Amino acid sequence: MKVAAGNKIYQSLVCIAVRQGGEKFFLPGTIIRSDGIVATSASLFSCPNSKELSETVDVKVLKTHATYKGVLLDADFCSNIAFVKMMSPEPQTVAMFGNLDKLHPGFWVVAASCHVQHNILCYAEPIYSCGSFGSVANKIANGESHSRTSGAFIRAAVATHVDVLGGPLIDPESGVLGVIYSCDNFYRVKATPIVDVFKNLERLEKHSIEMYYLFCSETVALTTMSSVGNKILKVLRVLDRMVLRMLSKEEFRVLKMLLFHGA
C-alpha cells in the first residue's frame, strides 16, 4: 500500500524548511507543476501581509535529496493552502493526481509526510501512514464557505505518529487526492481537494498578473524622466526576474508610493 502510494508521488514529495518571524519549522509538500510550484498547508505560516514577515525557505526533494532555495508565493487561510516556488533551473517531476469520484467510504488512502532528524533539512526522510477514506464534506454546511474554492474538503482517518499537515493524501490506485490541512488527536484528517488547490493557484496567478501589468502601465509615463525612469526600469527588470507573489491592495499602494514619491 505504501509502496503504491510512493510510486504515485515518486520525486514530487518534498520537505520544506521555513524560518519565519524568528521561528523555524518543517512541513511536507507536493510538487504540483513542473516549474517547481509546491502545494502545502498554510496552517503554520504567518500572514503574508504582515509587516514583520521575513521568511527564508529551503525545499528538499526527498527522493533525489536535491535541495533548492524557495519563495513563499502565498498562504491563503480561507482554503488553508500555501504555495512555494522552488528556484530550480530544471523541470521537476510532478505527482500523479487521483479521482475522488472513484472512492467510497472505507477505501484505503495514504498520508505522506516527512521526518526531520536533528532539526536539519538534509536528514529529512519520507514517511507514509495508511488510513481509510471517509467522505467529501462541504464547509458551506458549517458556515465556513468562501469564494476561493468550492468549499469541499476530504475526511479520512489515518494512523500516524508524525505531523502530516501540508502533506498529500493519496489514493494508492490513482494518485494525490488533496493537501492535508488538519489532523486531530483521534487521527482524523481533513484535506483540500486537489481540484480546489489548482483553482486557488489559478486565482493567485491571475491576480498577480493583473497587478503586475497595472504596475507596468502606471510607470510607462515616467520612463522619459532620467532619474525616475532609470529607477523604475531597474525595478521592472527585477520584477521580470523574480517570482510574482500576489500583492495585496495595501502592499501595491505602498510600492507605488515608495517608487513615485520617493524617487
Per residue in 19-67, pLDDT tens?
A: 877 778 899 999 999 999 999 998 877 655 454 445 789 999 999 999 9
Q: Does one domain contain both 104 and 170?
A: yes
Q: Is residue 47 part of a domain?
A: yes
What local confidence, expressed as pLDDT, does residue 243 receive? 42
Q: Is residue 4 part of a domain?
A: no
**Mean pLDDT on 171-186:** 92
Region class of 80: left (phi > 0), else alpha (psi between -120 and 50), else beta = left
Q: Is residue 93 part of a domain?
A: no
C-alpha grid cell, residue 188: 482524523
Q: Does one domain contain both 68 and 128?
A: no
Q: Does one domain contain both 66 and 140?
A: no
Q: State the pLDDT confidence band at 109, using cuts at 50, 70 and 90.
A: very high
What local confidence, expressed as pLDDT, does residue 225 receive? 45
| pLDDT(141) > 80 | no
What's the Cα-to-Cα distance from 179 to each of 2, 32, 50, 155, rounded to whole Å? 17, 11, 24, 11
The structure's pTM equals: 0.76
Q: Give the residues across from 41 on adjacent strands.
A: 81
Q: Does one domain contain both 189 and 222?
A: no
Q: Does one domain contain both 255 and 189?
A: no
**Mean pLDDT on 109-127:** 89
Question: Which of these three, 194, 210, 242, is where a domain ends?
Answer: 194
Q: Does one domain contain both 177 and 112?
A: yes
Separation between Cα atoms, residue 184 and residue 196, nearest integer Å:
22
Comparing 66-70, 135-139, 163-167, 213-217, the range with the smallest average pLDDT is 213-217
What local confidence, expressed as pLDDT, does residue 242 receive? 44
DSSP states along 151-194: -EEEEEEE--SS--TTPEEEETTTEEEEEEEEE-TTSEEEEEEH
Separation between Cα atoms, residue 132 and residue 94, nearest integer Å:
24
The enclosing domain of 55 has a CATH number of 2.40.10.10
Q: Does one domain contain both 158 and 131?
A: yes
Q: Is residue 69 part of a domain?
A: yes
Q: Is residue 92 part of a domain?
A: no
| pLDDT(147) > 70 | no
Q: Is residue 91 part of a domain?
A: no
Instruction: Round the average pLDDT of the chain to a whole number and report it.
Output: 78
Percent of the chain with pLDDT over 90: 41
Q: Does one domain contain both 118 and 181?
A: yes
Q: Is residue 73 part of a domain?
A: yes
Domain total in the chain: 3
**Mean pLDDT on 5-32:** 87
Burial degree of 8 (CB within 10 A; 0-12, 13-18, 19+): buried
Q: Is residue 131 part of a domain?
A: yes
Question: Which of these three, 159, 174, 194, is where a domain ends?
Answer: 194
Instruction: Name, in order, each residue with C-beta under 8 angstroms of 64's C-beta and a sequence gap of 6 or more.
Output: 11
Q: Does one domain contain both 210 and 180?
A: no
Range of the domain at 226: 199-261
| pLDDT(9) > 80 | yes
What local confidence, expressed as pLDDT, does residue 78 receive? 79
Q: Does one domain contain both 65 and 107?
A: no
Q: Does one domain contain both 185 and 203?
A: no
Q: Does one domain contain both 104 and 190?
A: yes
What local confidence, expressed as pLDDT, does residue 254 receive? 56
| pLDDT(193) > 70 | yes
What local confidence, expressed as pLDDT, does residue 10 receive? 75
- pLDDT digit string (tens) for 215-254? 555 554 444 444 555 555 555 544 544 444 455 555 555 5
Question: Which of these three, 149, 168, 194, is where a domain ends?
Answer: 194
